[in-house]
């Protein structure tokens, strides 16, 4: 059992990157290695020693793109966490766990109506739990929402960090879409979350899964992990891609209605494509986040009896099921994960911001 620390060692976001609206000049953000206090743990709280914390697009949004955090800097980012409980609630000490990326209050109306993933009083590491986040040696969290890892089956504990967001967010999206066995699916973007969206849809019984991306190597890889058809969108208009989808439908004898589309990039081209592909009785699930605005003829929803649905995080109740899907091999993890020392956080942020990595970066504490 690891000793209980006197201080938490952490990489704090002292300031995010800021763009001058008049000149366009960007003042780079600052990440700083520091120590913060271990708080007094209340009833039902624990201290988790971090094994690994994934670098998520959301972290990059906070650091580079002006997306506001609930707790203001300085704070520690990171919400994709696996680790071991070392203090607090005695029933949890020594257990390996996943820390959910969003932890509901369990008391409000949204929580009582199974919408706790968007609880307005939720706690999110690296955003709304004061100064505490996963790019640290330890993090204090409520124990009630922890997902115990009983048998990792040889998978490194730090690799399982990506289950805490990248693999569970697609599961929540599939549930919100009412994904049923035999449903036909399009996934736009097969990066850090999209690659699990493809696998999750297939594991839940989807019929034909079409993956769309601009990276040919990623698309080729997804043919071995749940995608039945891949479409490279490089240099193509939404109309051209829609024509390719229509050709796939014709070739496979698939209907032009009822498709469930998961837009995972959060980019303008990805979202424009998702809107273009939305057809009769279809559903467009907005999984990725972006700051831009789009134009859309909203009456098409009426004419097509179609839906556009946003989805946020994942209910902690679903974590054990997703973890089981990973441990049983229904969702592959290792081919899509890489680990790096947490001391390389600045380089990792810069690399992931320039281009979403083919393998999710998980930072391992090396204080």
CATH architecture of 169-310: 3-Layer(aba) Sandwich (3.40)
Q: Measured at the alpha carbon of residue 355, what is the angle toward residues 352 and 359, in degrees to the nearest 5?
A: 65
Q: Select from 71, 180, 185, 82 the least CA-distant residue to 134.
A: 82
Strands (E), 173-290: 185-188, 209-213, 229-232, 260-263, 283-286
* Position 216 pLDDT exceeds 70: yes
pTM value is: 0.93
Where exactly does CATH 3.40.50.720 map onto the chain? 169-310
pLDDT (0 to 100) of residue 1: 63
Where exactly does CATH 3.90.180.10 map onto the chain? 7-165+314-364
Encode pLDDT of 172-184 as tens digits: 999 999 999 999 9
Encode pLDDT of 22-57 as tens digits: 787 878 899 999 999 999 999 999 999 999 999 999
The number of angstroms, rounded, from the C-alpha of 273 to the middle of its chain's C-alpha atoms is 21
Written as six digits, the tokens of 333 are 């993890």
What b/e sequence results for 252-276 when a residue is b if at least 16 CB atoms lie within 10 Å of its CB, and e otherwise?
A: eebeeebbbbbbbbbbebbbbbbbb
Q: Select from 278, 270, 272 the least CA-distant residue to 303.
A: 278
CATH architecture of 7-165+314-364: Alpha-Beta Complex (3.90)
Contact 367, 53 (CB under 8 A): no
């Amino acid at each position: 059992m690891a000793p209980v620390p006197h201080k938490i060692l952490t990489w704090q976001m002292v300031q995010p990157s800021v763009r001058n609206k008049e000149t366009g000049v960007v003042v780079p953000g600052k990440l700083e290695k520091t120590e913060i206090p271990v708080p007094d743990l209340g009833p039902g709280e624990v201290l988790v020693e971090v094994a690994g914390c994934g670098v998520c697009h959301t972290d990059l949004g906070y650091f580079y793109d002006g997306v506001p955090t609930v707790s203001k800097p300085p704070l520690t980012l990171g919400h994709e966490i696996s680790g071991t409980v070392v203090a607090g609630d005695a029933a949890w000490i020594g257990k390996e766990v996943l820390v959910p990326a969003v932890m509901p209050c369990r008391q409000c109306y949204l929580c009582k109506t199974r919408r706790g993933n968007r609880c307005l009083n939720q706690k999110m590491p690296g955003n709304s739990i004061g100064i505490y986040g996963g790019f640290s040696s330890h993090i204090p969290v409520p124990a009630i929402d922890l997902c115990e890892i009983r048998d990792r089956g040889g998978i490194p504990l730090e690799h399982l960090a990506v289950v805490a967001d990248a693999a569970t967010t697609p599961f929540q999206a599939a549930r919100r879409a009412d994904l049923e066995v035999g449903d036909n699916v399009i996934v736009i973007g097969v990066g850090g979350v999209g690659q699990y969206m493809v696998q999750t849809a297939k594991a839940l019984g989807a019929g034909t899964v079409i993956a769309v991306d601009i990276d040919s190597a990623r698309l080729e890889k997804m043919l071995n992990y749940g995608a039945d058809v891949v479409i490279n969108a490089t240099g193509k208009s939404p109309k051209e891609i829609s024509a390719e989808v229509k050709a796939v439908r014709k070739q496979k004898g698939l209907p032009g209605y009822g498709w469930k589309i998961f837009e995972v990039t959060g980019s303008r081209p990805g979202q424009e494509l998702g809107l273009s592909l939305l057809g009769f009785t279809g559903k467009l699930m907005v999984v990725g986040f972006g700051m831009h605005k789009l134009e859309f003829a909203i009456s098409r929803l009426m004419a097509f009896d179609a839906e556009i649905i946003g989805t946020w995080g994942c209910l902690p109740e679903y974590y054990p099921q997703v973890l089981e899907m990973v441990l049983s091999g229904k969702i592959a993890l290792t081919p899509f994960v890489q680990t790096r020392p947490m001391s390389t956080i600045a380089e990792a942020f810069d690399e992931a911001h320039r281009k979403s990595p083919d393998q999710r970066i998980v930072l391992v504490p090396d204080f």
